[in-house]
């Protein structure tokens, strides 16, 4: 079965602060978690006690599988100056290394108004080549996440998995890949089998939620036996982040997901 990583922004919130959520996830049998912004300045608004979070991860042996870049990647050209992103990237990598997190999630923002789409995608390649050169040797990778524009992220530039793959191919680094989010892909009406086949080993991380609704598997219309089979057949063997809004208490919700994953 895949290593499942509950998102501690959305799950085990009943336990209290973030470090308490890590311990609750461990008590529920998980050896991995993921989160959003490492300090909470951008996403979510609540600051994180990083020393306490690190202690909880070390005490429980739980792996932090992913964190978001801060500030949230919102590339707009013009202006041409993205120095804040690059400055904060170094800070994010330092935090990731301290917490034992191997990847940082990045995005596209809303694009570069008035420019042809192909030009915008090529500009993303340029930006992320520079980012990878900056963090080379850190042991931390970047994963680019396409997100749906139909429901959750209207106006986002990168909404197609294939275009995320195009950017990753252009960056051409083992430290850079694509985050394939089953929920976002389904909302955009993509064919999961075709997208995974096109992406190949450029899929460096996976997240899930059901669609519609973005709840746990079983609350929407997706066939999860089929989805897990497609993922397995694609050759992906990394962790799977549980980035969904639970419709029941966290412990019951994640137990249901574990059952589905085992059955698949």
For the segment 88-117, the average pLDDT, to the nearest whole number, is 92
pLDDT of residue 250: 98
pTM of the predicted structure, to 2 decimals: 0.96
pLDDT band at 80 (very low <50, low <70, confident <90, very high): low
Q: Which residues contact 13 (CB under 8 A, 6 or more apart)?
A: 21, 250
Positive or negative, the Cα torsion across 39, 187, 221, 224?
Answer: negative
Q: Which two tokens stand for residue 195?
A: 């997208």
pLDDT of residue 2: 95
pLDDT band at 90 (very low <50, low <70, confident <90, very high): very high
Alpha-helical runs (H) found in the chain: 18-27, 50-60, 83-99, 117-135, 161-171, 182-187, 192-199, 224-233, 250-263
Instruction: Identify the residue with better confidence: 126 or 42.
Output: 126
pLDDT of residue 45: 61
Tens-place pLDDT, residues 166-222: 999 999 999 999 999 999 999 999 999 999 999 999 999 999 999 999 999 999 999
Q: Which residues contact 155 (CB under 8 A, 6 or more apart)?
A: 110, 149
Tens-place pLDDT, residues 63-78: 999 999 987 777 665 5
pLDDT of residue 38: 93
Is 242:254 a contact under the CB 8 Å cutoff? yes
Average pLDDT, the chain: 94
pLDDT band at 44 (very low <50, low <70, confident <90, very high): low
Is 77:48 a contact under the CB 8 Å cutoff? no
Tens-place pLDDT, residues 4-39: 999 999 999 999 999 999 999 999 999 999 999 999
pLDDT of residue 98: 98
For the segment 147-167, the average pLDDT, to the nearest whole number, is 95
Residues with catalytic function = 145, 243
pLDDT band at 41 (very low <50, low <70, confident <90, very high): low
Residue 104's H or E segment, with its range, is strand 103-106
Tens-place pLDDT, residues 230-261: 999 999 999 999 999 999 999 999 999 999 99
pLDDT band at 144 (very low <50, low <70, confident <90, very high): very high
């Amino acid at each position: 079965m895949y290593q499942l990583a509950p998102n501690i922004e959305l799950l085990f919130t009943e336990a209290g602060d973030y470090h308490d959520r890590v311990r609750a996830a461990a008590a529920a049998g998980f050896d991995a978690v993921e989160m959003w912004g490492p300090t909470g300045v951008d996403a979510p608004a609540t600051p994180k006690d990083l020393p306490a979070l690190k202690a909880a991860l070390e005490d429980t042996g739980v792996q932090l599988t992913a964190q978001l870049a801060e500030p949230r990647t919102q590339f707009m050209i013009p202006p041409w100056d993205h120095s804040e992103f690059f400055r904060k990237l170094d800070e994010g990598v330092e935090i990731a290394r301290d917490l034992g997190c191997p990847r940082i999630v990045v995005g596209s923002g809303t694009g570069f108004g008035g420019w042809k789409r192909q030009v915008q995608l090529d500009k993303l390649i340029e930006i992320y080549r520079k980012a990878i050169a900056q963090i080379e040797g850190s042991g931390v990778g970047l994963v680019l996440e396409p997100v749906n524009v139909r429901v959750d992220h209207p106006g986002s530039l990168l909404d197609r998995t294939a275009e995320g793959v195009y950017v990753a191919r252009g960056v051409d680094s083992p430290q850079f890949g694509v985050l394939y989010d089953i929920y976002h892909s389904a909302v955009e009406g993509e064919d999961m089998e075709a997208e995974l086949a096109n992406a190949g080993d450029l899929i460096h991380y996976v997240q899930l939620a059901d669609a519609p609704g973005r709840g746990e598997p079983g609350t929407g219309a997706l066939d999860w036996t089929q989805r897990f089979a497609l993922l397995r057949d694609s050759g992906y063997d990394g962790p799977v982040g549980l980035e969904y809004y639970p419709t029941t208490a966290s412990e019951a919700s994640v137990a249901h997901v574990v059952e589905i994953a085992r059955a698949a």
